[in-house]
Chain A
């Protein structure tokens, strides 16, 4: 766990008490017991919860239409690391679609049956320069700032096109249309596009960079 564990756990507790999604990162596993109890206490603080009416309605709709419309979009498939399967299947019903909604732009990619894949040594990453890596079906650009490593999807948030790293301008550029993104995934330029999907990444104690991808 980076930094003092009490600070990291407090950050997680504060997020939970604000009703935010659980955002964990490499190293948090050391405090898994404290974190799961914190989630449980946060879950109990307002008594038993019922589904929000809007969610209940969406759930009802998805239950009634699931077999017919459980198709995955090409972009959703690519971003979720299922590009080859979606392309080869040509619209065949995919198990992934029946399990979870396609990942939305800007959200972290949560691969189905995700695994931490060793992609590089932290020492190989040049500060401020993007490095493209592939973790099974998940493509990502890694960036190092000091000892911190971050990762964003290598797929544009608009069209399902691979981005390329323009080292001269310091941007990720789309190969399909004239848009670019900063290294933290935010759009840079005139187009009001969503930010790139984040990709989970961690650095092991031995200095290896691992990305949450697929086997």
Chain B
């Protein structure tokens, strides 16, 4: 503010977004980012760390008081970059070696529908045995032993089948 005020003149009322209001908006957007990240790392601890990183990187942008729609694209771009760094560090690969399409694609639909839909699309394109082993293990939470019993097989064979099913699932292009 550069204008001078005379004595008795009321001060300008500057409409600044309250910190708590700006934070609320940011948190609502970060909820979507969290769901996006969680759907790719599969565990809470890593999802929280990465969401925190996205939030901290995005602070200058969040503080500009931009509308939610304007910061969403920035947040997701940041989330993709943070996820790329995460996988690259954990796997010991340069980001060039890490194929970006492994886990970083932007969601085509709201995350509330995105994860389940994409996973169902992936599973639907697998052979019956591969789909069954992944459904039992991941979606129904069966142990290897329980999967083996269900599929009349051995734990060793199921372990190998699980790896092959995961490799096959990685090659499936969901209908995005």
Contacts and interface: CB of A to CB of B under 8 A. Distances in A.
Contact of B167 (A22, A34, A40): A34
A148 interface: no
Given A17-B138, A48-B39, A37 B166 contact: yes
Given A39-B40, A56-B27, A24 B90 contact: yes
Contacts of A16: 42-43
Interface string A34-69: 111111111111011111100110011011101100
Interface stretch (A2-10, A81-89, A125-133): A2-10
Main secondary structure of the interface of B (DSSP, over half): helix
B62 to A, nearest CB: 7
Interface of B: 19-20, 23, 26-27, 30-31, 34-35, 38-49, 51-53, 55-57, 59, 62, 85, 87, 89-93, 97-98, 102-103, 111-112, 114-116, 118-119, 122, 134, 137-139, 141, 144, 159-160, 162-163, 166-167, 169-171
Interface of A: 5-7, 9-10, 13, 16-17, 19-22, 24, 26, 28-29, 31-45, 47-52, 55-56, 59-60, 62-64, 66-67, 70, 98-101, 110-111, 113-114, 116, 200, 202, 212
11 contacts: A6-B162, A22-B43, A32-B102, A34-B163, A36-B102, A41-B42, A41-B119, A41-B166, A48-B35, A49-B34, A63-B62
